[in-house]
Structure 1
Amino acid sequence: MKKWLPFAIILPALAACGSDEATETQAQDLSEASWDDIVSEAEGKEIGMYMWGGDEGVNQYMDDFVKPRLEEEYDITFNRYPMDAPDFLNRLMTEKEAGQTEGGADLLWINAENFRTAKENDLLYGDFAGTLPNLQEYIGTDVPFVNYDTGTPIEGHEAPWGNVQFTFQVNPDMVDEIPESLDDLMQWSIDNPGLFTYPNVNDFTGNTFIRHVMYHVADDPADLAEYDEEWLENNGDDVWESLRSFKESLWREGETYPETSEQLDQMFANGEVAFAMGFNEHRDIGMIEDGIFPENTKTISLEPGSIGNTHYLSVPFNTQEPEAALVAINFMLSPEAQIKKLDPAMWGEGHVLDADTLTEEQQAEAEELTGPAVVEQDEMLPELDARYFDWVIEHWEREIVQ
Structure 2
Amino acid sequence: MPAGTVSPIDPCLDQLTRWSGVVADDTQMPDLLTALEAVPDPRARRGRRYRLPSLIAVALCAVSAGARSFYAIADWAAGVPRQVLQRCGIRFRVPSEATIRQVFGRVDGDALDRVLGRHLAARTGADTVRLAVAVDGKTIRGARIGKQAAPHLVAAVTHGDTVVLGQCRTADKSNEIPTVRKLLRGIDIAGAVVTIDAMHTQKATARCLREQCRAEYVMIVKANQLGLLDRVRHQPWEQVPVVWSDPIERGHGREESRSYKIVTVSRGLRFPYARQAIQITRRRRPIGSEIWSVEVVYAICSLPCEQAPPKLLASWIRGHWHIENKIHYVRDVTFDEDRSTIRTGHGPQVMATIRNVVISLHRRAGQSNIARACRRLAANPDHAVDLVLNA
TM-score, normalised relative to structure 2: 0.26
User: More strand by proportion, 1 or 2?
Assistant: 2
Bigger CA radius of gyration: 2
